[in-house]
A and B are shown apart, each in its own frame.
Chain A
Amino acid sequence: MIKELVVISGKGGTGKTSIVAALANLLNNKVLADCDVDAADLHLVLNPTLTEQEEFWSGKSASINSDKCTRCGKCLELCRYGAISKNFVIDKVACEGCGVCYYFCPAEAIDFTENMCGHMYVSTTSQGPMVHARLGIAEENSGKLVTMVRNKAREIAEEKGLDTILIDGPPGIGCPVIASITGANFVIAITEPTLSGIHDLERVAGLAKHFDIPLSVIINKSDINKEMSQHIKDKCNEMKINVLGEIPYDEAITKAQIQGLDLIRYNSASPAAEVLKNIASDIKDLLPFLKE
């Protein structure tokens, strides 16, 4: 039985990826999946060797074939995104891919083709296989891409007989996050003791509750504002959410990243590493009890 653990955070920059990298070192028999595709950083501390890549296609975009174009101006008139210039060239960044120009061009001068928006990669790392992705500029992460990464990770887990999938989830609580947690077995939310941290945690908790997936919280940099940390713990208590641990502000986290290492490899005795070791051991104890 394969268990999928997803690490998420409401806002960016809470240390999510560093925590995932440390957990990757501490958990056994796992596949890693980086679903934080807008800021895919996990590979920077895991030194992956690429073994496989696949194109990612999503949505469509229009382009004008200047040989056929009669410059009648119909597309200019119909496009609501101002994506067509007076010289009849389509601005790829402004084009939303609605296809209106394509459908209504009387000269059939517009091509409307699927968009290659990035790549998905499979790599080997010292911590096991990893699935990750990279998008082109102006492309956005989507439920589709997240699902593709997760499916690939599951395929690899089945093939290699690995029983855990550790997912670095996207920030926010939009469509990609939903796609990263639906059908998963356990969600870990990383938060910081800040005003925005509390606000985001509430929204994330609502999401996990709705999908009926067990949620635990890790408070990162907990000693930056002890009062606020206490407030988060009280809130969690109120919402019946387990706090897996409080990671103190620790320079070693940044230093490990600068060395291109996960925290445990960099310094397994640092204060944050000690807490993460306890967290990982708690997660290992929990794994057999997670429902499908």
Chain B
Amino acid sequence: MRIAIASGKGGTGKTTVATNLAFYLKHFDNTDVTLIDCDVEEPNSHIFLRPDCQEPKVITVPVPVVQEDLCTACGKCAEICQFNAIACVKEKVLIFPELCHGCGGCLLVCPTGAITEKQREIGVVENGKGKEIKLVYGRLHVGEAMSPPLIRAAKEFSPVTADEIQLIDCPPGTSCPVITAVSESDFVLLVTEPTPFGLNDLKLAVEMVRILDIPFAVGINRSTADNNIVQDYCRTEGIPVILNIPHDRRIAEAYSTGKLILESLPEYHEQFSQVLGYIKGVLS
């Protein structure tokens, strides 16, 4: 079973929920769990799990190479490239690998067969165990813009097995990287906070999950008794709210030092037990 934890905007507590849910599964529910951190531009889960990492796996994408003696500088490759990764000026072809999406169009269009491909490193997939939780996380190299291939690699690194639960910590937003991370999940938990900003971004995330057609529910972080804007929205839309983490300054303090809620404040285990109960119920 694979559960994705996503949110429309950053900073709502996605990583907090993912790491604590993982901790709950392992230490309160005795279930094997792998957490895959797909927020490859800013992976943060390892700060909370502090894993002993194995040798990282290097991830590459294909990029074109021009064999100059075969190239006639006809410019067809620059013309087909939709990503500005190839320029053809004054009898010379220039390649900009960091803009390349690896579509292979230039290879196919080259009339003289002057283009071949090589593999270019974009990041690594780290893996290890921290607090008895298996953690896999992608880390995009500084200067790279292409995160989806790395996200796919992180997910493929650890295929789903029958006897464990996998949690996917997604990047924020609703664009390509998030969709890559969320797809092929059995369930999505959307984390938000009960503010107008949180609600606005939640609505976008809901639109996204509905397009992907995956069962989902909402978790509210920093919830307060006197503010129901997210609950009201969810009730109107028929979306279940399965997690409420109250607005508790002690949680923010624990977070700032890299501690899990369940380590500092184990009384919150009830909240995570409900999440799991609900998801298991929906999927069985």
Contact = CB atoms under 8 A, between A and B. Distances in A.
Direct contact of A and B (CB under 8 A): yes
- Counting contact residues on chain A (CB < 8 A from B), the size range is 35 or more
A59 interface: yes
Contacts of A140: 173, 175-176
Interface core residue of B83, B142, B172, B258 (most chain A CB under 10 Å):
B172
A39 to B, nearest CB: 4
Interface in A217-243: 221, 224-225, 228
B74 to A, nearest CB: 15
Interface string A58-73: 0110000000000000
Interface string A4-45: 000000111110010000000000000000000011010011
B160 interface: no
Query: Size class of B's contact patch?
Result: 35 or more
Contacts of B101: 96, 98
Contact of A221 (B175, B179, B201, B252): B252
Interface string A197-227: 0001001000000000000000001001100
B196 A258 contact: yes
B255 A194 contact: yes
B80 A103 contact: yes
A97 interface: yes
Interface in B76-134: 80, 82-83, 101-105, 108-109
Contact of B41 (A60, A80, A174): A174
B84 to A, nearest CB: 11
A98 B195 contact: no
A35 B172 CA distance: 16
Interface of B: 8-12, 41-42, 44, 47, 80, 82-83, 101-105, 108-109, 142, 145, 172-176, 179, 194-197, 200-201, 204, 207-208, 211-212, 227, 229, 249, 252-253, 255-258
19 contacts: A12-B10, A14-B11, A44-B196, A44-B197, A81-B103, A93-B211, A96-B101, A98-B101, A99-B80, A99-B82, A172-B42, A224-B252, A224-B253, A224-B256, A228-B257, A249-B249, A254-B195, A257-B195, A257-B197
Interface of A: 10-14, 17, 38-39, 41, 44-45, 59-60, 78, 80-81, 93, 96-100, 103-104, 135, 137-141, 171-172, 174-175, 192-196, 200, 203, 221, 224-225, 228, 249, 254, 257-258, 260
